[in-house]
Amino acid sequence: MAICAIATLLFSPTLALAQPTSNVTVAPGEGEIVCWGDSMTEGIGASPAVIQTDTISYDASYKSYPEILQDLCGVTTYNFGVGGATSSELVAMQSGELPDEDFYGYDDSLAELLELGQEHTGDILILEIGSNGGWDNNYTTLISQYRSMIRASDCKGYLVIGDTDDPGTSMGDRNQDPLKKGQGLQDTAWEAALRRSFGDRFINMRTYLIKRGLKVCGIRRSGQDKACASFGMVPHALRADWTHLNSYGYFAQAFGIYKRGVKLGFWNKML
């Protein structure tokens, strides 16, 4: 399991950085962003990816979204993504508790990662949990788990990232049905529950990737993409497999998080 902990600034010289302002929650060299989640945060599916648009030239190859986010906003970012972890396991891991030895990713590197998680709780906390279950198909339980992790972090700000599986296919929400044609940009019941609870701290990443993901990456939208969008499916060009994103998808996800963080005053506008 390729668990990564990002602790150094990785500015790309090809990103067109603007002059930063100071009225933000975190600034380069003055704060930390911490990302907790499962394989989507860890970066499983990362691939070759070069972003080339009118405003951005950036090599996202084999990078996870936390690593790309660090480049975009210039703030030290830690990746505490653990592939295969359920929401309840991530709540425990954030507190430093090691999973049982039969957990498929149990090894010394996981212990080291969780120890690092105790040292770095983050000024800004980003959570992407629940895709592997661990909340008994009960939105109230999942929301309680989110709030528990937010309290434990004692962060200054937080973001909640929605599941990016195609509606009706997620392991986390077994009661979810596929959307009908034309409903693709509507919130699922899961997304609606998170939006009600967290407001503008919630990002419906599935619909963001459908609406803006290809354009952000400089990829032309195909007829197939339009058809998939009608049913709420993330464009195939942003996917590594049926659930994970590739590094184009992770770049688009990081960019969406970066833009929301700018809007909320979490970090500087750099692009």
Helix (H, G, I), strand (E, B) or coil at 51: strand
pLDDT on residue 15: 56
26 lies in a domain?
no
243 lies in a domain?
yes
8 lies in a domain?
no
255 lies in a domain?
yes
134 lies in a domain?
yes
Percent of the chain as helix, strand, coil, to the nearest 5: 40, 15, 50
The two structure tokens encoding residue 24:
């933000």
Domain extent for 42: 32-263
Which residues have a Cβ under 8 Å from the Cβ of 106 and sit 6 or more positions away? Answer: 98, 99, 100
Helix (H, G, I), strand (E, B) or coil at 147: helix
27 lies in a domain?
no
Which is it for the CA torsion 239, 191, 170, 105, positive or negative? positive
pLDDT on residue 194: 98
Domain count across the chain:
1
Q: What is d(CA 268, CA 270) in angstroms, rounded to the nearest whole number?
A: 6
118 lies in a domain?
yes
Low-confidence ranges of the chain (pLDDT < 70): 1-22
Whole-prediction pTM: 0.92
Helix (H, G, I), strand (E, B) or coil at 176: coil
Continuous H helices in the chain? 39-42, 65-73, 87-94, 108-119, 139-153, 189-198, 205-208, 214-217, 223-230, 247-263
269 lies in a domain?
no
CB-based contact 166:233 (threshold 8 Å):
yes
Q: Check which CATH number belongs to the domain holding 135 and give it.
A: 3.40.50.1110
